[in-house]
Chain A
């Protein structure tokens, strides 16, 4: 195992193309155990693509991605292993509308981890309580508000007991008053020491919890720094411009 380096995720010279289009250019990134990273950048900069490569929703063409000592290559077993270790929360929740909230949470533990149903339900209820919606367990996703749905999606990922959580713009599809309830859950999760990679435009969240902020544009990592210096003393012109647009109003 790669405990000696303390890195749970390593990206080495990762390159990816969509057809002719070069989306990710020589991405290098090390994520330490328990680290919280916020990734920001303009739309189309490749930030979502990058974190989607980490659980192989997208395939990269060059370079290595190593998650918890498992190298992500063309091996179904490794892909399955990594997906068990890595939870993901989507912009549009992607809850399964034909299953209840509880069933959404127990589906993967039962079928992927082969957990007995009782136990899976117990764990699911535990996490639903953590995201403060245990009373909605038997409703269907369509009956919940956007913020509640996103919290269910977080609980669903947590039920697999992941070592890393990926967040792909978790609050972009939500109304302003619902953003807070989701962010609160994420802050709490961060406080418990979960390793998190989070693509978001919520700069307040970044200042509050991030250990590192990464700024991407045109498929490259332009700048990475602690939030303090990232926001107060950006190094590159591109970052300055972006920050002035995001924070400037």
Chain B
């Protein structure tokens, strides 16, 4: 049979376009059927159980307290407000965790390739032990074992009668703005502007004349100097609100909850093991030839790191780093196990129990994390495009 004159149906059967259209339609159909069934079932189930649907509950009064609120909140605020209180608490612990884990991780990573044998081995043991123990267990360990050894409020560890540490948390003095505060802030902003201007000037001068300028140390001096001297010139524009022992606990000042501390420590330490490995492999990924080329060119050790090794290592390090930051943010949801009031604990925990509206609340919670993930992966794509090595 001449294959070019087959009848229409068999022709359609062997046409890849037709096949793929049919298959895709089939998938869509099945998916639609699946979703419709589930939606139908959910509706009947909710109806039977007498659970209301929709987002009306968000404006109803919550009626429960939250132990840490970054925005104004009390029992009379709405369930919608609990969402934001929880979200901000999640963001707070994630932010603190990212900063500390990066700092610790870089130290670990550099120790892993140190010329010192002891340091190398100790950091290796640190990584191998702590990353093979579940994070939840580490949170429990900090919360139930380490922090439980702290004294009662009456016997607090005190530092200069202004910082107190006890089993209820850490109590710090709180700076309260006083007269002349806005002037002080303006002064600080001016110093930042000055530093930026200095950097630009130094760069230009180096380009034009080749002369170098110690920008880093000068900037630090300017910033610190303005902060300290300006404080006194503007007539001490802040007063400190000291925590005081009243009855069984401290009042005033800033309270850092033990839950926050345990979660922060555990997240930091767990994530730092991963960041340490990323830093190590990032630096090791820059070939030995680069180091040798730098030596041959007479570039010194510090410049070599700054000008040659780090720019190349960064390219390798930043994508896995960002995904570790994302992991840390997602892992902060383990807060719920020790009662730190993060998004999952407050909103998908207490609020869910009070209202019973599982579908709406879980979806909103998931959307928050999804949004963060999508933002981060958008950043990562942008970054990868930007730093991609130019190659054929």
B residues adjacent to A (C-beta < 8 A): 2-4, 11, 14-17, 19
Q: Contacting A76 at CB < 8 Å: which of B2, B4, B15? A: B15
Q: Are B11 and A75 in contact (CB under 8 A)?
A: yes
Nearest chain A CB to B112 CB, angstrom units: 33
The residue in chain B whose Cβ has the minimal distance to the Cβ of A78 is: B3
Which residues from B are CB-within-8-Å of A69? Answer: 2
Q: Are B3 and A74 in contact (CB under 8 A)?
A: no
8 contacts between A and B (CB under 8 A): A71-B4, A75-B3, A75-B14, A75-B16, A76-B15, A76-B16, A76-B19, A78-B14
CA distance A77 to B2 in the complex (A): 12
From B2, B14, B15, name the one whose CB has the most chain A CB atoms within 10 angstroms.
Answer: B14
Is A70 at the interface (CB under 8 A from chain B)?
A: yes
**Chain B, interface SS category:** helix
Beyond known contacts A75-B11, A76-B16, A78-B3: 10 more, CB 8 A cutoff: A70-B3, A74-B15, A74-B17, A75-B3, A75-B14, A75-B16, A77-B3, A77-B14, A78-B14, A81-B3
> Mask for A57-93, Cβ within 8 A of B = 1, else 0?
0000000000001110011111001000000000000
A residues adjacent to B (C-beta < 8 A): 69-71, 74-78, 81
Nearest chain B CB to A92 CB, angstrom units: 16
Which residues from A are CB-within-8-Å of B15? Answer: 74-76
CA distance A76 to B6 in the complex (A): 13
Which residues from A are CB-within-8-Å of B17? Answer: 74
Which residues from B are CB-within-8-Å of A71? Answer: 4
Q: Are A74 and B16 in contact (CB under 8 A)?
A: yes
Q: Are A76 and B14 in contact (CB under 8 A)?
A: yes
Nearest chain A CB to B285 CB, angstrom units: 25
CA distance A75 to B14 in the complex (A): 5
Nearest chain B CB to A86 CB, angstrom units: 15
The residue in chain B whose Cβ has the minimal distance to the Cβ of A77 is: B14
Which residues from A are CB-within-8-Å of B11? Answer: 75
Nearest chain A CB to B115 CB, angstrom units: 37
Nearest chain A CB to B23 CB, angstrom units: 13
CA distance A80 to B2 in the complex (A): 15
CA distance A128 to B147 in the complex (A): 73
Nearest chain B CB to A96 CB, angstrom units: 24
CA distance A70 to B16 in the complex (A): 17
CA distance A71 to B2 in the complex (A): 10
Nearest chain A CB to B18 CB, angstrom units: 9
Which residues from B are CB-within-8-Å of A77? Answer: 3, 14
The residue in chain A whose Cβ has the minimal distance to the Cβ of B11 is: A75
CA distance A74 to B11 in the complex (A): 9
Which residues from B are CB-within-8-Å of A74? Answer: 15-17
The residue in chain A whose Cβ has the minimal distance to the Cβ of B10 is: A77
CA distance A69 to B1 in the complex (A): 12
The residue in chain B whose Cβ has the minimal distance to the Cβ of A59 is: B16
CA distance A74 to B14 in the complex (A): 8
CA distance A78 to B5 in the complex (A): 12
CA distance A71 to B17 in the complex (A): 17
CA distance A70 to B1 in the complex (A): 11
CA distance A70 to B15 in the complex (A): 15
CA distance A210 to B291 in the complex (A): 52
Which residues from B are CB-within-8-Å of A81? Answer: 3
